């Protein structure tokens, strides 16, 4: 159990922590990327900064070979973790609040589901998520807590591969908002 665990759910398979996602010792970190996969600020900036150039090189190759038009919102791809403690980075593109004609919740749920599917396919035991879309993409924390917790709960109900889903919040306030509005026990 990570030292800074605030709460755990679903038989300790889900843990809520406050911290920097780049410092998490798990098999894969999920990056709150944009569709270019070429970096940005926030989580994206931190992961590329700490993880080093190998991550960007693999992102460029994915764009060249598989994703000439970029990674669509809600989809996810995997690269090396580079210099990070995590072996892999799972890049996903969250919805921008108010820009998807009312499909924001469906797309945010897809980010969590598709990222967890990639982790399970690779038989990764532990995955750390940031609070996708709740920063630059302006997704309200209250709605995001309900959508992300339902998506994670639904995935884990049918999966036995992923042993730990770590939800990493950058501030205590963000973690408390999540703990107040999650739907793990709904």
CB of 16 to ligand APR, least distance (A): 12
Strand ranges of the sheet holding 14-18, from the earlier edge strand across to the other edge? 5-9, 14-18, 164-169, 126-129, 28-33, 88-93, 76-80
Interface residues with ligand APR (CB under 6 A) are: 20-22, 32-34, 40-46, 94, 130-137, 168, 170, 174
Instruction: Indicate if 154 belongs to the active site.
Output: no
Q: Which residue's CB is nearer to ligand APR, number 56 or number 161?
A: 56
Q: Which residue's CB is nearer to ligand APR, number 49 or number 121?
A: 49
Considering the candidates 20, 27, 44, 158, report the single residue annotated as catalytic. Answer: 44
Neighbours of 23 (CB within 10 A): 14
Q: Is the dihedral of CA 60, 65, 68, 72 positive or negative?
A: negative
CB of 40 to ligand APR, least distance (A): 2
CB of 111 to ligand APR, least distance (A): 9
N-terminal to C-terminal alpha carbon distance within the chain: 24
Q: Looking at the annotation, which residues are catalytic?
A: 44
């Amino acid at each position: 159990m990570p030292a800074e665990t605030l709460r755990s759910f679903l038989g300790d398979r889900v843990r809520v922590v406050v911290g920097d996602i780049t410092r998490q010792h798990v098999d894969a970190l999920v990056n709150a990327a944009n569709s270019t996969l070429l970096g940005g600020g926030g989580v994206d900036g931190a992961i590329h900064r700490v993880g080093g150039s190998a991550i960007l090189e693999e992102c460029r190759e994915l764009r060249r070979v598989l994703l000439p038009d970029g990674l669509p919102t809600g989809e996810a791809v995997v690269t090396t973790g580079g210099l990070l403690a995590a072996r892999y980075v799972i890049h996903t593109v969250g919805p921008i609040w108010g820009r998807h004609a009312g499909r924001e919740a469906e797309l945010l749920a897809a980010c969590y589901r598709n990222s967890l599917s990639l982790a399970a396919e690779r038989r990764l035991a532990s995955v750390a998520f940031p609070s996708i879309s709740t920063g630059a993409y302006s997704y309200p924390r209250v709605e995001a807590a309900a959508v992300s917790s339902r998506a994670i709960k639904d995935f884990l109900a049918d999966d036995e591969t992923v042993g730990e889903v770590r939800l990493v919040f950058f501030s205590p306030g963000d973690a408390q908002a999540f703990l107040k509005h999650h739907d793990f026990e709904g």
